[in-house]
Structure 1
Amino acid sequence: MANKKRGSQALIQSMINQQVQYVFGIPGAKVDQLFEDLQYSDQPNAPKLIVTRHEQNAAFIAAGIGRLTGKPGVVATTSGPGVSNLVTALMTATAEGDPVVALGGQVPRDDLARYTHQSIPSKELMSVASKSSVEVQDSNNLSEAFTNAYSTAISGKPGASFLSLPADVLSGEVTRLEMQQLKEPEQTQTSAKTLNQIIDLLKKAKLPVILAGMRASSPAVTEALHQLLAKVSLPVVETYQGAGAISHEFEADYFGRVGLFRNQIGDTLLKQSDLVIAIGYDPVEYEARNWNVEHNDQIINIDTVAPELTVDYQPDMVIESDIAGTLSALTDALPASYHLPKTAVDQLAKLRSEFDGQSTTATTAKPGTMHPLDIVNTLQEKVDDETTVTVDIGSHYIWMARHFRIYRPRHLLFSNGMQTLGVSLPWAIAAKLVRPAEKVISVSGDGGFLFSGQELETAVRLKLNIVQLIWNDGYYDMVKFQEEAKYGKNAGVKFGPVDYVKYAESFGAKGLRATNSEELANALDQAQQADGPVIIDIPVDYSDNIELKSALLPDILN
């Protein structure tokens, strides 16, 4: 019997079959059929439609869903500027490995070749921002197109898939059955010969180190990594997107994060090591030319995708297979007698003693402001292992990445591929939707916050208890201090003040201000009791940013 329905209904059923829970976006004439059918669907498990205040932020929220769950978030927008506003968010998602399916409305098919209202070459535009970009030309192809877009978004290195949907395709009649739920692909296994080669390199190494990258942050991989560390103690350096790979139990194996500026404990360890085991590492996080300037003697690359090869990154072993399975097999194959050489243990102890205490050094700040370390340390005391912390781009993000500890993967989120301003609040919205019972804290600078601050209304409407910290200094400070390091002066980085307490109140949220650690601690306690989002405005003194660039190589500033 014919399965007659509209294209938009078939598309919604395809989302249901892939267990999509939300669709984020902004309506418009070329996509309104989809919005109508989502809003008034009689399907009990139809995705919930969440309207946002900007298409870019809708895609950021969808990307946040993708990063947190490993399953694509979905964003839908109208044609023309509705689609073009997706570019930055989709490019960020593709660079940073966050699965997203973006649905862009398009003019009817007979208008595609005309200079008509909101007609742009959407498919071609999105081909540079996404892993795949397809324009659907027949209503009967909608389910197949969506399912393939979904599959592409999660395959290999995850990223964004885009579908251009002409209005008459969405409203057209569908008689074809929808695609069913995707099956989990069978993971490739590492051979015994390969495992023996890894073990042989480990035995010969004087100072091996694990570099845990973005694809080491999945629950399965971190669990396998923990099993390995339980058998043999190996030093681990996290990238920013690998944050949380090391739990409390293995804190003695944690040797910092790398991701910006080559002057940290992790950089020093990578420099001294003669064997780097890169797990799920992606060069977009921190190019090898930064951490491998001296060209380590040996590199083993363990990942689900082939590495990008450069002069600075030519691994001696490339293992392209299931990461968790490879680590588990390596743990089983490692002799019980293997351990780090005593020289390595002594070297690691010396290295740790040189860097210990960085987070607890004495600080001073101008009256009425807080030192970055005091903010980080106060926040550290107020979170638990279940808390999700999202971080925007700015000087605050460097201080957070270096000094803020987290012990579960994908609970401390950074944009370290594109370093895109404005991600923090949208990601926090995603986190609160995915983890409604857990604390969610968003950290932004006063520059980056207003890139997506309008989504405070979305958080208020959804009654999401998100705590938004704003480190407020009146500058695009991350640019400011780097300009001063390069040129001795700054340019184009100052902007006017905003009263963020009143800003919060104007949206129906709560606004607080903290100028010292006691006030911040009290504000954080008070914020967790609120029914909806809370902004905490924190005047910050960045005078010590000179410490962020200490011992930098000249090329790093460029």
Structure 2
Amino acid sequence: MTETTVAQALVTTLRDMGVRHVFGVPSGGWVDYMEALRTTDGIDFVLTSHEGGASFMADVCGRLTGVPGVCFGTFGPGATNLATGVGGALLDRSPLIALSDEMTAPMRGRVTQMGIDHQALFAPITKMTTRLEADKVSDMLAEAAKVALSGRPGSVHVGLPVGLSAAPATPAATGPIAATPPAAASTNAIAALIAAFTAARKPILAVGLGAAHARVGDKVIALAERFGLPIVLTPMAKGLVPEGHGHYAGVLFHALSDVVGQTHAEADLVVAIGYDPVEFNLESWMRDGLAIANIDVEPLDIDAAKHPVAADVTGDIAASLDALLALDAAPRDWDLAAVADRKAETFRRLAPDSNRFGPCAALDVLRDVLPQDGIMACDVGAHTHLIGQKWPTPAPGTQLMSNGWSSMGFGLPAAIAAKLCRPDTPVCAVVGDGGFLMTVGELATAVREKLNIVILVFTDNDLALIRIKQEKKHNPIYGTPVRPEGTIGGPSLFGVPVVTVDNPDALRAALVDGFAADGPVIVEALLDSREYDGLVLHKDKP
């Protein structure tokens, strides 16, 4: 192999692994890597307004492409800014490689400007953290990618000591990196699963993000149809089962979760499939004493004192489901008509209030305008709880949210990354006016990259989830109004036109025009946040 520099080896290796974008804010130590990115075909540097936006973008690239997203931050504040999305990738289970400047060996542990221990900073918010070595560039990046992709996907940090970039390196041939496949579950665990499932009269399927990663949606549906079982999803598993399917019973944790709870309260066994408690702890919704059989790549995490563990089947999810599908057994005792009635009640109550222009109406209009293959990224807030239950999601990856990490500021960077990954797909972001303020600077990134995304801002001047909790405690509203009154301000922000609407017809026209535009467009919907009050933060246990 021809000798090259560490910077060139790093960029070439990432490119050959399938990475197409590296997001970040440059530093002096990053200049050689920038030049390597400039001169290497097939991979580009994307300048972001803030390192937090960069790491959110890398997260979404990892989700949508199956190749770890990559981001960079410099010493100290660059790394701490980057950490928000790096932690998000860990808990939202997205493959990501975070790169950061690091001090040279003589300066590690010394008092110096911007100097902190990046290995210690990233250790609790990644699956692995390491420091690049000149003679192992390709091997170390390949290992980082494999760790990020395997098991429950997540983030990995690789420190780049300053000055290493110009050192000689000999890159190894590297291609796409595959996750380490999970081993098959033990025969004893499969036997326990079959015994528990066979004995149960009303098992329910609780399906999580791990099932989406394992791509077992068809098997989940086949199992439900074969044995007459209802299916509940966690929010980030949306799209795995169509909302119109006869066995779909709703989403846990989000709007009107008490109605969904009427179904799972009848169960005598929870069959958890790829259920990741990072979204919602099992004991937070399962009635006390309800048994569980877990099918996942990781062992069960539950309070076993409250919930008998009938089976903990750790290994290949698809193979474990095949063991159940092979059973010769009769349908169970569920009244699926009653399940359907509860689902219909949920969607009826999530219909728009005709007396106000609220978030339900805005979401209905957006769903009607956005093509079925379009991607909607949402921020964190009260509207997320509506989207989790209400938004029809035709396939995994068409609705992007942060639920394991639940960071405000996710929505806009997520939409930018989605459009970069899928340039021919219509993409929008749904953000509250509070979350919008956190990453509004990334509008400049969307303009610079000439991305046609529509940013739908729900303006109600209200951090509604916290305000509702204040009122439930009979506390005064304090610290939750985003502004006394008014809008996000001006006919444009960072060169992005703003269209303000206050009714569904005007919203529809603005969205149609926005998706047809040449660049980013903000559509600001002036909404009544009181519609949330009767729909979100319901009890999950009956």
**Normalized against structure 1, the TM-score is what?**
0.90
Give the match for residue 264 of structure 2: 270
Matched, 1:421 2:416: no
Please show how residues 121-520 of structure 1 align to structure 2 within 5 Å: 121-136=117-132, 138-175=133-170, 177=172, 179=174, 181-183=176-178, 185-190=180-185, 195=190, 197-218=192-213, 220-229=215-224, 231-247=226-242, 251-260=245-254, 263-296=257-290, 298-311=291-304, 312=306, 315-331=309-325, 333-335=326-328, 338-341=330-333, 344-345=335-336, 347-349=338-340, 351-352=342-343, 354-355=345-346, 357-360=348-351, 362-365=353-356, 370-496=357-483, 499-500=487-488, 502=490, 505-520=492-507
Identity %: 28
Give the match for residue 8 of structure 2: 9
RMSD of the TM alignment (CA)? 2.5
Q: State the one-letter code of the partner of 1:318.
A: D
Cα distance, 1:520–1:123 mapped onto 2, change above 3 Å: same
SS in 1 for 2:246: helix
Q: State the one-letter code of the partner of 1:85.
A: N
TM-superposed deviation, 1:357:
1.5
Cα distance, 1:306–1:472 mapped onto 2, change above 3 Å: same
TM-superposed deviation, 1:480:
1.2
Q: State the one-letter code of the partner of 1:185.
A: T
Cα distance, 1:192–1:518 mapped onto 2, change above 3 Å: same
Q: State the one-letter code of the partner of 2:140.
A: A
- Of residues 266-275 and 310-319 in structure 1, the stretch that sits farther from structure 2 once superposed is 310-319
Unaligned segments of structure 2, at least 5 residues: none
Kept in 1, the 8 Å contact 2:256–2:346? The answer is: no
TM-superposed deviation, 1:86:
1.2
Alignment deviations for residues 317-374 of structure 1 (CA, whole Å, 9 cap, x no partner): 111122233324432x032x63232x53354255446545222364322xxxx21221
TM-superposed deviation, 1:269:
1.8
TM-superposed deviation, 1:449:
0.7
Whole-Å separation in 1 of the counterparts to 2:519 and 2:450:
5
Whole-Å separation in 2 of the counterparts to 1:485 and 1:357:
25
Cα distance, 1:529–1:129 mapped onto 2, change above 3 Å: same
Cα distance, 1:408–1:261 mapped onto 2, change above 3 Å: closer
Q: State the one-letter code of the partner of 1:52.
A: T
SS in 2 for 1:252: coil
Whole-Å separation in 1 of the counterparts to 2:350 and 2:323:
37
Alignment deviations for residues 485-539 of structure 1 (CA, whole Å, 9 cap, x no partner): 1233222112335744636x24222321221111111111111110111111011
Whole-Å separation in 2 of the counterparts to 1:105 and 1:550:
42
Whole-Å separation in 1 of the counterparts to 2:344 and 2:429:
32
Q: State the one-letter code of the partner of 1:121.
A: D
Kept in 2, the 8 Å contact 1:364–1:371? The answer is: no
Whole-Å separation in 1 of the counterparts to 2:409 and 2:254:
19
- Of residues 281-290 and 487-496 in structure 1, the stretch that sits farther from structure 2 once superposed is 487-496
- Of residues 94-103 and 178-187 in structure 1, the stretch that sits farther from structure 2 once superposed is 178-187
Q: State the one-letter code of the partner of 2:332.
A: L
Cα distance, 1:71–1:487 mapped onto 2, change above 3 Å: farther
Whole-Å separation in 2 of the counterparts to 1:144 and 1:233:
49
Kept in 2, the 8 Å contact 1:215–1:279? The answer is: yes
Whole-Å separation in 1 of the counterparts to 2:462 and 2:344:
35
Aligned residues: 540
TM-superposed deviation, 1:472:
0.5
Whole-Å separation in 2 of the counterparts to 1:437 and 1:228:
35
TM-superposed deviation, 1:547:
0.7
Whole-Å separation in 2 of the counterparts to 1:386 and 1:415:
20
Alignment deviations for residues 418-446 of structure 1 (CA, whole Å, 9 cap, x no partner): 21010001111121122222221210000
Q: State the one-letter code of the partner of 2:235.
A: Y
Kept in 2, the 8 Å contact 1:363–1:373? The answer is: no
SS in 2 for 1:283: coil
Whole-Å separation in 1 of the counterparts to 2:308 and 2:96:
30
Give the match for residue 68 of structure 1: 64
Matched, 1:52 2:48: yes
Kept in 2, the 8 Å contact 1:243–1:409? The answer is: yes
SS in 2 for 1:165: strand
Matched, 1:104 2:100: yes
2:113 to 117, 120, 140: 117
Whole-Å separation in 2 of the counterparts to 1:66 and 1:147:
15
Cα distance, 1:541–1:184 mapped onto 2, change above 3 Å: closer
Unaligned segments of structure 1, at least 5 residues: none
Kept in 1, the 8 Å contact 2:214–2:318? The answer is: no
Cα distance, 1:508–1:352 mapped onto 2, change above 3 Å: closer
Cα distance, 1:433–1:155 mapped onto 2, change above 3 Å: same
Alignment deviations for residues 361-414 of structure 1 (CA, whole Å, 9 cap, x no partner): 64322xxxx212211222222233212111111111112222111121121122
Give the match for residue 519 of structure 2: 532
SS in 2 for 1:97: coil
Kept in 2, the 8 Å contact 1:288–1:313? The answer is: no
Kept in 2, the 8 Å contact 1:217–1:410? The answer is: no
Whole-Å separation in 1 of the counterparts to 2:38 and 2:332:
59
SS in 2 for 1:74: strand
Whole-Å separation in 2 of the counterparts to 1:287 and 1:184:
26
SS in 2 for 1:105: strand
Cα distance, 1:287–1:507 mapped onto 2, change above 3 Å: same
SS in 1 for 2:535: helix
Cα distance, 1:155–1:478 mapped onto 2, change above 3 Å: same
Kept in 2, the 8 Å contact 1:256–1:266? The answer is: yes
